[in-house]
Structure 1
Amino acid sequence: MIELNKSRHQVPSDPLRLMSRVYKFILPTVKTELSRIRQHASIIPDPELRKQALASIQTKEFHCQGGSVYAAANLPQRHVLIPLIVAFQTISDYLDNLCDRSTSMDADDFRLIHQSMLDAVIPDREPADYYALRTEKEDGGYLIGLVNQCRMCIRELPGYSAAQPYLVDLVGLYIDLQVYKHIKPEMREPALLAWRQKHQERAPHLHWNEFAAATGSTLGMFMLFLSACDPDLDEQAASTVHKAYFPHVCGLHIMLDYLIDQAEDRLGGDLNFCSYYESDSETLTRIEMIAASARQDIKLLPVSSFHRMIIEGLLALYLSDPKVGQHMEIKEVSRRLMRRSPLTRLFFWANSRWIRKFL
């Protein structure tokens, strides 16, 4: 029994062990958590809020599945990490739906509803009235319920005080992005360019669209949640985690997301950061550069093999998406990104297709 517990506490360093944990422990728990959240969403009084809450769960379940993989690195704490990651990611997905399909284009409204994400990671702060600036208000306690779920879990993370400033930094950047990319179309690019100029000292080698993409990822936040399970986490270690994930791991995550959504976003009139490249060749070159930088950055972390699997898993997850095969330009870039893939990425590619089809 001692050996079993010891084994479960170890960070998985090979794909077989990682996916074994994902299938046995992670996916079933994510399913349970989302089922509970879906039940609450189904009784939201306002029809538009209910529609967007249910749609965000139905169409973005894989965000919660992917994010919860971090709990595989500390199975004894999965009872804290999975509910925390699922609740936090569900807030993100729900608010993204509210902004994408919004009845408003008010920057103040977008910032106020996203205040919930800051409230979720600052447990002692007084929650805001998130719907005060929009027509739809009656969510039956859905959003504050998700915020409180995050707060309850965070209070069980012994190293959270060291991680919190870095979480607040990433959440703050995420909120800025969501505000600027959802305002009136003619205002979006000027606002994003001005914002990038304000943060020019951060990753100056990245184009403005790549920096913006990096701020849209929740992976750095999830890694900080995982790190906060360690009672000995200090400011230096938390800073290292932050540097290892932002901007390149985070940027790779969202650039891949935008890569496969290009055709869909064109139809919907949504902003897409891959559309700012002049050619497929430039798209490929820049994403390859970000991926290479991400692989270098994660060497800063203990058990870097786990984080290397995260990177290969990201490439596999997005490039195995059914949308890739529906559009020739996306298919070509994806094919070139998958060329000479290591066995680890091919293994995750096969598992990603299996999970989409059968789970």
Structure 2
Amino acid sequence: MLRVYRYVLPEVGEQLRYWKEKAEAMPDPELKQQAIASMTSKLFHCQGGAVYATANLPMRHVLIPLIVAFQTISDYLDNLCDRSTSMDPQDFRRLHQSMLDAVNPAEPLHEYYAFRAEQEDGGYLNELVKTCQASLRMLPSYAMVAKDVGEWVGLYCDLQVYKHIRHELREEALLSWRKPYEAKYPELSWNEFAAATGSTLGVFMMFLAAAGSGLETRSVDAIRDAYFPYICALHILLDYLIDQGEDTLGGDLNFCSYYESMEQTVNRIAAIVLEARAKTKLLEHPAFHSMIIEGLLALYLSDPKVNKQIQVKQISRKLMKGSPLTRLFFFANSILVRKSF
């Protein structure tokens, strides 16, 4: 946490100030509004993702700009699909081509706004993509993780397309999309699989692994097993858990709403926590990954949104019951960070 306060939060702040200045210079008012809103309301996404840089401080000058740029693309596109003017899956697919390009240093840029009315962003999205590509070229072992990163980003892009199409079509589209993966992840319900694809944490962990030289295949395999689906699913299920009230009002799809009861919600999230913990024991530096798990639980369950939703508050209490000291520490720390930033 000393590293987070001394290095990560200030340097994430510097990066976001740079991108906010770029966003404020956008010619198109709608794109500008969504870009600025994504950085304002989702600040903690970049802060949380950049925690991975604490595990390799000498490479933070590469990891922090990379993580912030990639997460900023993700949050910006989420706003464009979720809160903006289009419901065209072709538009969503082309916008998210930018994320696929961002994790492939050799890929040329595309016309990302080709299927929407608003197009003039002053080069904002192109520069974010190029920043990611330039950073990846500085990771000595990126070739070892590129396949997994590309696969996970592809799944993320699929999810963003299907969950943002017309309300009457999205659930059927998501169910059809998941079918080819049922045999590979039989322990997950369709909504849990979809949740796992919505997290960028696995990608950030692969970035961290690639920042070291001499990365071995067995290490990459262990990361894959721990992060997808377990840590990634936990991340997004907690996110959806606290957003249930907002999503109901906004008519947005929420993966936690598919559980039959409060008891099932608690049991399934708790089961995923146990699997995530078991898998992290097989990783190098398991204490770091255990910190990630406890930090996720603390971060989301300490969110002010929890206290505004009676059932979510009850679920939160059950999940926090008997928490280890690490989680309690992060619970208090999460409250402090929100007040400070």
1:262 to 225, 241, 244: 244
| Corresponding residue number in structure 1 for 2:299 | 317
Cα pair 1:159 1:234 within 8 Å, conserved: no
| Corresponding residue number in structure 2 for 1:142 | 124
What's the CA shift for 1:296?
0.9
In structure 1, C-alpha distance between the alignment counterparts of 2:184 and 2:242, rounded to whole Å: 26
1:64 to 43, 46, 57: 46
Q: Which amino acid aligns with 1:196?
A: R
| Corresponding residue number in structure 2 for 1:94 | 76
Q: Which amino acid aligns with 2:298?
A: A
In structure 2, C-alpha distance between the alignment counterparts of 1:127 and 1:354, rounded to whole Å: 40
Q: Which amino acid aligns with 1:194?
A: S
Cα pair 1:56 1:97 within 8 Å, conserved: yes
2:6 to 24, 29, 42: 24
In structure 1, C-alpha distance between the alignment counterparts of 2:340 and 2:66, rounded to whole Å: 25
Q: Which amino acid aligns with 2:201?
A: L
What's the CA shift for 1:240?
2.2
Cα pair 1:119 1:147 within 8 Å, conserved: yes
Count residues in correspondence: 341
| Corresponding residue number in structure 2 for 1:345 | 327
| Corresponding residue number in structure 2 for 1:163 | 145
TM-score (norm 1): 0.94
| Corresponding residue number in structure 2 for 1:48 | 30
Paired residues for 1:162-201 under 5 Å: 162-201=144-183
Shift >4 Å, 4+ stretches: none
Cα pair 1:166 1:239 within 8 Å, conserved: no
Paired residues for 1:226-265 under 5 Å: 226-265=208-247
Q: Does 1:294 align with 2:276?
A: yes
Cα pair 2:34 2:84 within 8 Å, conserved: no
TM-score (norm 2): 0.99
Q: Which amino acid aligns with 2:93?
A: R
CA offset digits 1:24-82 (Å, max 9, x no partner): 11100000000001000011110000000000000000000000000000000000000
What's the CA shift for 1:297?
1.1
What's the CA shift for 1:102?
2.7
SS in 2 for 1:232: coil
Q: Which amino acid aligns with 2:321?
A: R
What's the CA shift for 1:170?
0.4
1:82 to 55, 58, 64: 64
Q: How many percent identity over aligned positions?
A: 61
In structure 1, C-alpha distance between the alignment counterparts of 2:326 and 2:26, rounded to whole Å: 42
Structure 1: unaligned runs, 5 residues or longer: 1-18
What's the CA shift for 1:239?
2.5
1:73 to 52, 55, 76: 55
In structure 1, C-alpha distance between the alignment counterparts of 2:221 and 2:33, rounded to whole Å: 39
Q: Does 1:271 align with 2:253?
A: yes
In structure 1, C-alpha distance between the alignment counterparts of 2:184 and 2:48, rounded to whole Å: 27
In structure 1, C-alpha distance between the alignment counterparts of 2:319 and 2:225, rounded to whole Å: 25
In structure 2, C-alpha distance between the alignment counterparts of 1:103 and 1:248, rounded to whole Å: 34
CA offset digits 1:179-220 (Å, max 9, x no partner): 110000000100000111121122111000000000000000
Q: Does 1:115 align with 2:115?
A: no
CA offset digits 1:153-184 (Å, max 9, x no partner): 11100000001001001001101100110000
Cα pair 1:265 1:271 within 8 Å, conserved: yes
